[in-house]
Amino acid sequence: MLKERKCPECRGIIKPGQTELKYELEKMSVSIKNVPASVCMKCGHSFLDGHIAEDVNRLVNRVTEDLNSFTKTHPQVGERHREVAIAV
Ligand SMILES: [Zn+2]
């Protein structure tokens, strides 16, 4: 069992949970839902494990590349406020 962790912000108890991450990129915003994270029960602050943060970064990079090539071939798709939501 993991040792009980305390939130560095408020000293609340941290428990395994899920969070939603948002990335504001140059031309679009990407939100990723249901990301496994440690969440403070008191203030709601969430903490990602190192390897999950890496996976998420890779995912965001890939989505960004895919979207860039997609919007190049489909320039008629909304010029601004592109938003992509991913649920994992
Ligand atoms: Zn907290």
**E-only strand ranges, the chain:** 5-6, 13-24, 28-40, 46-47, 82-87
The count of other CB atoms within 10 Å of the CB of residue 38 is 18
Distance 2 CA to ligand 1 centre (A): 18
The model's pTM is 0.71
Check whether 79 has a pLDDT greater than 90: no
Query: In the chain, pLDDT over 70 holds for what percent of residues?
Result: 89
- C-alpha span between 70 and 64 (Å, rounded): 10
Residue 37 has pLDDT above 90, yes or no: yes
Residue with the larger pLDDT of the pair 71 and 34: 34
Say if residue 53's pLDDT is above 60: yes
The Cα 70–Cα 82 span in angstroms is 12
Residue 7 alpha carbon to ligand 1 centre in Å = 5
Determine the residue type at 47: F
Q: Which amino acid is at 57?
A: N
